Amino acid sequence: MSTAEVTLGSVLTDLDASIGTAAYSGAVVEDLRSAIDDELTEAVDAAGIDPALFPVRVPKGRVTSVLACPSKALADLGGDIPPIHSLRGAVADVAAVIAAMSPRKPLELLDVLEGVAAIDPENVGIEMWRGSSKEEKAELREILEPLAAEVQATCSGVAIDWVVRPQFTSQAAFAGGRLLATARYDMLLSQPGRPRSAVVVEVKAGNAHSDHRADAFLYALLETLRTGYSPLAIVTISTGEPPVLIEEVTGGVLESASRRLVAASRVLIDMVANPTRPPPEQPGPHCVVCPRRATCSSASIAVDAS
Amino acid sequence: MSPTGHVFVCIDCSRRVVSERSPRELGQYAQEWAKERLQPIALQTAEGRYGAAEDHERVRLANYGLTTMLDCEARVTASTGFDGWDVLKATRWLAVRSLHRYLSDDGVTGVQRAVRSTMANTIDDAAPDSEFVDGWLKQQPPGVRALLAARSAGWVASLLETVRDGDLEAEALKPPPVDGPPMRFYYPGRALMIEARVDGLYGRKNTKGPSAETLLLTVTAPGFVDDILDFEGTAATLASGVAPGFIAAVLPKSGEVHKVAVDTAMIERGLKLCERLADLELRAIDGRGATDVARKASFFGCRSCALAETCPARLEADQKPAVFGGLQPLPVDPG
């Protein structure tokens, strides 16, 4: 098993001295909330949406997808996640929680899979594992064992004073509850009894990607709006490089996340209000994996450019 | 007592609330109303009159049935009862007991330590053949126990965070009653039981004059928060025979707290919810089924519903295109 140089435990130890010193709180946060709310209230009022469709839901993933390409975002809706992707993600998430909770030796893959089955029994990846032959399971183990071991090594060393909240859902309502922004962090860590100690942790079973940074910014914004003060940091754990990415929550981070949230919400409000209007297409690297790439004119532009 | 009624003062916001009944009078009013209005429901079935029911035969009106009813009434009538423990169900069980330990003076410091020691004691004390949560917990592998501990510690942390970092810091949080009579109202004849779910409380209790006692409840279904507060405020009043001053819903997802006074109007709304829920729960027993009840198709609700195959709402929903948050998927390229 590999031994991680930087662990979640060491990151939290470094952050310990900053507890209680949130960069943003009080009136600054309320001003931020008001500014977003004003823009989104105006957008919702102007759209003329059927009240039965409220609240317009703006989950984290949809912010990323509609800003990349609204057309692909609609084409992807309801699509199935490949079971192996689902299983890798679930193993990484559960292994991270187990490691952060337990100071003892890391658990074996089968124990991690028991954990996945216990909290997400209908996960398509777990169903695939259960239905696999002995040979197929051996192939899956070659993929999953190093993943579970690596995530557990990176997420180790967390002091018992930190409480781990797995799969924590955060939400913020705008426009009088007619629009709901949501995100689910893989882990929210804090020290009860020590206010303003929140650290958001995201676990990725793969390489870090530019979208992950934008996701981290949105987590910072929603956590700030939820509690009234900014979290100490957003930490992204990845099995690629770098294994640990620490994002300090600055004014620029919150401003950037606000802009993206408002922009994505405007697109979604328009799409909900005008369901028959074809959504805009935006060519980009995502065209390679778009289910409409064979017939979409923008996709051909992107492929030609590449 | 003032000429207009009893004055309650909120310890957090100094809000003054006037009630025409004292906490004890309100408790008596609720119990009498419940006995009278629930009588035909509680004691009569299509086959005849209920006798004194055994524990496992009681119709239990509680939070799960309420939130199911608020989502889809038909699903309550299809309920097959408790189907065993799992991580999701055991989370609050462990969390409430851990909160007791954390708030008590027995030397356990820290939420995580409180959860671990509560779990360890539960496993140590479990009878080998126990069919209850302790027996289930004892059989779980280490990965499942770690996840359960994390979820329970997180539950406690969310409650503490909202109470202490938020607007409810006025007085120390106290542990809730966990089980038994303080939380349950047994209808005479014991066929019907109404159960309250309190996750914490604070403030001074007073049976005759203004009561500052506030019950806290963690709510994860924000769309139903008003009905949940009505039901739980009523259930707690029925169980103890004395109304609390206030009841507050803590919403961990948004960090919000909804706090309301417990008054006659709330009790009456709560009793009507009890009445409807009792009727639906009994339909599962007496064979009346899901005729003339509200139905609502939903992805998660219908997935576990025994009526889904034949439910008109579900069949109608299946004929419509899938909608995700108001959005319809675009057709994709064939192949």
pLDDT of residue B129: 85
Residues of chain B in contact with residue A227, where contact means CB-CB under 8 angstroms, are: 161, 165, 255
DSSP calls for B19-81: ESS-HHHHHHHHHHHHHHHHHHHHHEETTEE--SPPGGGSEEE-HHHHHHHHH-HHHHHT---
- Give the whole-angstrom CA distance, residue B298 versus residue B317: 8
Residues of chain B in contact with residue A118, where contact means CB-CB under 8 angstroms, are: 86-87, 140, 143-144, 147-148
Residue pair B38/B275 in contact by the 8 Å Cβ criterion: yes
**Window 236-275 of A, Cβ < 8 Å to B:** 268, 271-272, 275
CA proximity to A188, closest of A196, A197, A200: A200
The overall average pLDDT reported for chain A is: 92
pLDDT of residue B1: 37
pLDDT of residue B53: 52
pLDDT of residue A21: 86
Q: Is the pLDDT of residue A77 over 80?
A: yes
Residues of chain A in contact with residue B111, where contact means CB-CB under 8 angstroms, are: 163, 192
pLDDT < 50 stretches in chain B: 1-4, 46, 170
Q: Which of B113, B154, B332 sits opposite A168 (nearest CB)?
A: B154
Give pLDDT tens digits for A15-59. Answer: 999 998 888 988 999 999 999 999 999 999 999 999 989 999 999
Residue pair B283/B75 in contact by the 8 Å Cβ criterion: no
Confidence at A104, pLDDT banded by 50, 70, 90:
confident
The residue count for chain B:
335
Confidence at A1, pLDDT banded by 50, 70, 90:
very low
CA proximity to B64, closest of B49, B51, B82: B82
Residues of chain A in contact with residue B333, where contact means CB-CB under 8 angstroms, are: 291-295
Contact A275 B110 (CB under 8 A): no
User: What are the C-alpha distances in Å from B24 to residues A128, B117, B230, B238?
Assistant: 58, 38, 18, 10
Minimum CA–CA partner of B113 in chain A: A160
Q: How many CA atoms lie within 13 A of B103 on its CB side?
A: 20
Contacting residues for A186 by C-beta, under 8 A, at least 6 apart: A93, A96, A97, A166, A167, A201, A202, A203
SS3 B141: coil
- The single-letter code of the amino acid at B114 is A
User: Which of B99, B144, B160, B296 to mutate: most A Cβ within 10 Å?
Assistant: B144
Pairing of strands A233-238, A244-248: antiparallel
pLDDT of residue B44: 55
- The single-letter code of the amino acid at B334 is P
- Give the whole-angstrom CA distance, residue A283 versus residue A287: 6
Give pLDDT tens digits for B293-315. Answer: 999 998 888 988 999 999 999 99
Give pLDDT tens digits for A260-304. Answer: 999 999 999 999 999 889 999 999 988 988 888 888 888 877 666
Minimum CA–CA partner of B166 in chain A: A227
- The single-letter code of the amino acid at B328 is Q
**Window 186-225 of A, Cβ < 8 Å to B:** 188, 190, 192-193, 195-196
User: What are the C-alpha distances in Å from B164 to residues B53, B175, B202, B220, B255?
Assistant: 43, 14, 12, 19, 11
Residues of chain A in contact with residue B154, where contact means CB-CB under 8 angstroms, are: 163-166, 168, 188
Q: pTM of the prediction?
A: 0.90
